[in-house]
Structure 1
Amino acid sequence: MRFNKLDLNLLVALDALLSERSISRAAERVHLSQSAMSNALARLREYFNDDLLVQVGRKMEQTPRAEGLANAVRDVLVRIEATVSTQPAFVPADSTREFRLLVSDYTLMTLMPHVLARVYDAAPNIRIDLRPQVAHPERALERADADLLIIPREYCSDAHPAETLLDEQFCCVLWDRATLASTPLTRESYLDAGHIVVLPGQGQPALEDWFVQRLGVSRRVEVTTYSFAASPQLVVGTQRIARVHRRLATLAQRRDPIVIRDVPLPMPAMHQTVQWHKHRTADAGLAWLREQLRLAVITMDDIASCGAHPQ
């Protein structure tokens, strides 16, 4: 099929080329031979009268023309995919669908066990692909690499719908034999301590670190890690302090010799949010899964309130 003399099949090849910036990886992505993808690139260059991709050292880079095309082509393909693949009804018990969720290890440890239990009970043949947090998560939606993002509201894109799943407070964790564990935690003692700081998503600052920067204070960072879940365990055997999501800290306290203290700084809550592509709002399967997320939050907090240890 052609539109304005362009073979529309070439749009799929163009999207893969601009996303992968590699002829071999683009060919693999759309199940073509490398020679067929090279031929597609040649035809695209001829149609647009532009190189689209140019070799710069060992990498291929987009030309300005290609940069202008990339988002528009991806948007068209996502819209077509959503229209074609969306079923008028979704029957969980009969479904064999795979859902791809982008989550942090905070969500992985706290919420996802409850989500998976609910999904398994209602739809045992559904597959869940849990993918790690990345920088610029909205790109995973727009490239169709993820069906849902579970991220703080501050990281959501204004271009796509989202809804808040839960509010989360931050707290401090210390080894239960640390000096600060047996004394009041003041602003001064907190800022003087050595800190463990999380840099998730390819080294980008975590939300709580962003909050601290806005307060205009600095900490003595002695350890950085990519894992929220590891932070409580990493303070054990040291005088260091880590600031952690309270639900995660409460889970860790059942396993590790730590104490939990309030943060002696004004810290706003984190609003954990689920976001999806604007063209997939009518997707009945995603609507069902979003409902499972909301119900799993209720289950998680009910269980925590029944089994919580007094602080």
Structure 2
Amino acid sequence: MAPPGNTLRGIDLNLLKAFDALMQERNVTRASERLGVTQPSASAALARLRLLFGDELLVKSGRAMRPTPFAERLAERVHTILSEVEDIVTSHAVFDPRQDQQTFRVMVTDYTALVLMAPVVRTLADEAPGINLVLVAQGMGDHAGRLQSGEVDLAVVPDRLSRHSGLPREVLFEDEFVLAGWRGNPAVTDAMTVADVAAAPYLSFSVGSEPSMVDALLTELGHDTRADVLAQSFVTGPLLLRGTRLVAFVQRRLAGLLAEAAELRVVAPPFAIPPLVETLTWHPRSTSDPGHRWLRGRILAAAAALPPRG
């Protein structure tokens, strides 16, 4: 029997990095670029991995390559192990925002980009010139999967999406929905009833396949939520109200920023709408990363500095 601890003797653990890259990319050329090696080196690593595991791991399917069932089962475990090793190695590293260069991909809507991330961008320009931000506006419904895969580093998402993910998270700020319309629209008044709202031309929002929070509530109340105009941008939607009879439910902080440009009149909704709670969430492998921790702190500080929502 081999002595304990000798199981890994003779195995190049760098092969696990190659395996992870191949599973992420499912393409030898792209995996070689991710690893910073030549394509023949990546092909050789795949050959060694096949020999090590006794499985083809990746097989051709038309022009693409698909992982075998064995590789699928192994992929997430290997990715998690490598992330934990990286976390151990970097746990005592020092992050210098004025010297270090790093890119962070942050998932946001255009609403949170304008309300929250704009102050963060100004902070980074002053404090961390080597830090690059990529704001990702797609895939909000699958934010947990994209954090797991490493496609994004952080996600700013409503509490209703993040609370069941099991990922670390922090509450950033609260907002509330108001009823908005063009100032020249005489139908938009403080005395509007639910029936008045139902009778007015309606602009709604869609980010992905999920109905908006307000539309989901209207459906529960038994009201028709078919929109006359459907906007896929929270920022563009209020600007479309100008010169029309349309009404929309808009986040109060956003309505305040766009009130003059969109010539908005803002009134209280004729029914109770739960507050919108925005959260910051990430994958556990990034919790101790110094740069990641620094950026989370700056985002939390920007949220704390937001003016009262009223």
Within the candidate set 269, 287, 301, 1:295 is matched to 301
Q: Tell me the distance in 2 between the aligned counterparts of 1:215 and 1:61.
A: 46
- The alpha carbon displacement at 1:115 in A equals 1.6
Of the structure 1 ranges 132-141 and 57-66, higher mean CA displacement relative to structure 2 is found in 57-66
Deviations along 1:134-168, one digit per CA (max 9) or x if unpaired, are 24112232223333221112222633211101011
Within the candidate set 25, 31, 34, 1:20 is matched to 25
Within the candidate set 138, 148, 154, 1:142 is matched to 148
Aligned to 1:198: 205
**In 2 relative to 1, CA 203–6 (structure 1 residues): closer, same or farther, beyond 3 Å?**
farther
Residue identity in the other structure for 1:9: N
The number of residues matched between the two structures is 302
Q: Tell me the distance in 2 between the aligned counterparts of 1:41 and 1:207.
A: 46
Conserved? CA contact 2:219–2:225, under 8 Å: no
Within the candidate set 87, 108, 131, 1:103 is matched to 108
Q: Tell me the distance in 1 between the aligned counterparts of 2:295 and 2:266.
A: 33
Q: Tell me the distance in 1 between the aligned counterparts of 2:115 and 2:36.
A: 37
Following superposition of structure 1 onto structure 2, how do residues 212-291 of structure 1 map, counting pairs within 5 Å? 212-291=218-297
- The alpha carbon displacement at 1:233 in A equals 0.9
Following superposition of structure 1 onto structure 2, how do residues 53-64 of structure 1 map, counting pairs within 5 Å? 53-56=58-61, 59-64=64-69
**In 2 relative to 1, CA 203–56 (structure 1 residues): closer, same or farther, beyond 3 Å?**
farther
Q: Tell me the distance in 2 between the aligned counterparts of 1:213 and 1:54.
A: 47
Q: Tell me the distance in 1 between the aligned counterparts of 2:262 and 2:124.
A: 30
Aligned to 2:194: 187
- The alpha carbon displacement at 1:87 in A equals 4.0
TM-score computed with the length of structure 2 as normaliser: 0.83
**In 2 relative to 1, CA 85–146 (structure 1 residues): closer, same or farther, beyond 3 Å?**
farther
Aligned to 1:76: 81
Larger Rg: 2
1:174 aligns with 2:161: no
**In 2 relative to 1, CA 5–217 (structure 1 residues): closer, same or farther, beyond 3 Å?**
farther
Q: Tell me the distance in 2 between the aligned counterparts of 1:108 and 1:176.
A: 26
| Secondary structure of 1:221 counterpart | coil
Conserved? CA contact 1:192–1:220, under 8 Å: no
Within the candidate set 46, 61, 70, 1:65 is matched to 70
CA RMSD after TM alignment: 2.9
**In 2 relative to 1, CA 125–179 (structure 1 residues): closer, same or farther, beyond 3 Å?**
same
Of the structure 1 ranges 206-215 and 60-69, higher mean CA displacement relative to structure 2 is found in 206-215
**In 2 relative to 1, CA 209–4 (structure 1 residues): closer, same or farther, beyond 3 Å?**
farther
1:10 aligns with 2:11: no
Conserved? CA contact 1:99–1:129, under 8 Å: yes
**In 2 relative to 1, CA 38–91 (structure 1 residues): closer, same or farther, beyond 3 Å?**
closer
| Secondary structure of 1:173 counterpart | strand
- The alpha carbon displacement at 1:4 in A equals 7.4
Unaligned runs of 5+ in 2: 1-6
Aligned to 1:308: none
Residue identity in the other structure for 1:24: T
Conserved? CA contact 2:19–2:46, under 8 Å: yes
Q: Tell me the distance in 1 between the aligned counterparts of 2:206 and 2:68.
A: 32
- The alpha carbon displacement at 1:274 in A equals 1.0
Of the structure 1 ranges 51-60 and 93-102, higher mean CA displacement relative to structure 2 is found in 51-60
Deviations along 1:235-286, one digit per CA (max 9) or x if unpaired, are 2233222222111111110211221222333321121111122133223333
Residue identity in the other structure for 1:164: V
**In 2 relative to 1, CA 86–175 (structure 1 residues): closer, same or farther, beyond 3 Å?**
same
TM-score computed with the length of structure 1 as normaliser: 0.83
Unaligned runs of 5+ in 1: 306-311
Deviations along 1:80-121, one digit per CA (max 9) or x if unpaired, are 222223444434344434333222111111111212223333
Q: Tell me the distance in 2 between the aligned counterparts of 1:40 and 1:286.
A: 31
Of the structure 1 ranges 67-76 and 116-125, higher mean CA displacement relative to structure 2 is found in 116-125
Of the structure 1 ranges 189-198 and 255-264, higher mean CA displacement relative to structure 2 is found in 189-198
Conserved? CA contact 1:194–1:241, under 8 Å: yes
1:154 aligns with 2:160: yes
